[in-house]
Amino acid sequence: MKWVKDFYDKQFIWSTTQYDFDLNHLIEEHVDKVEHFSDHPITRILELGGGNGRFAVTAARRGYDVTVIELAPSCVENIYKLAEKHKIGSNLRIIQGDFYQVDLEEQFDIVCYWDGFGIGEDTDQQLLLKRISDWLQPNGVALIDIYTPWYWAKVAGQEMEFGNIVRRYDFDANGCRMLDTWWRKEHEGDQITQSLRCYSPVDFKLLMKDIDLNLVHCEPGGEMNYESGQYTEQVELGKAMTFMAKLKKLA
């Protein structure tokens, strides 16, 4: 899936030149969420798809031992810069690679995957969930953001502009996939598209019928109203763009 690396690499480069946000701003709320939903004391955290690194660096700054796996070179470079800026020491390990292929011998108290689950087909998700199970301690918890089909079907065709960047959402009804396409105005032919499989909670459970993980909680995410430009942090599940799945490893 070559598009994965290309998409996230270009998305990061384009967004940092056009979006008005501070990449040095850490995201304490995600670490608060990890602490809230963990059933046991946390020492070691594994993050899949670390993106710009703000979660991994925040968690390491709080004293956790964090391993982050990120594929896109530009994102990995930013994680190193952010870690240096915040004087993070040896409790942060950064791995550039594909988490479908990276081998890790140790196990973790928490495995996190924020905003990105659904790459590939159902068999790919099952492979990843089996790997997550292997990476978890016997009493470990996985927290995974899942895209809902109802929200992305509703907003299909929605376009946004950020400076020189255009972003459009579409929905593949046959494949139940959210499509996220980016391009620069002067290079409309050079488009990048992210394709993520969407799941309801019951469909997500079906992925794990032969995997020793149990879906114990679904935490609804937010909703963006594109007419008013207002984002609501948390809404009922039937309106949410995502839900966070809490998975526990079966004894």
The answer to whether the pTM exceeds 0.85 is yes
Examine residue 156 and state whether it is found in any structural domain, yes or no. Answer: no
Examine residue 11 and state whether it is found in any structural domain, yes or no. Answer: yes
Q: Report, as an integer, the average pLDDT of 117-123.
A: 96
Q: What is the residue range of 41's domain? A: 2-147+200-221+240-249
Sign of CA dihedral 64, 65, 71, 77: positive
Q: Report, as an integer, the average pLDDT of 32-60.
A: 95
- Residue 41: the pLDDT is 93
Tally of domains within the chain: 1
Q: Tell me: the pLDDT tens digits for 67-84?
A: 999 999 999 999 999 999
State the CATH number of the domain containing residue 78: 3.40.50.150
- Residue 20: the pLDDT is 45
Examine residue 24 and state whether it is found in any structural domain, yes or no. Answer: yes
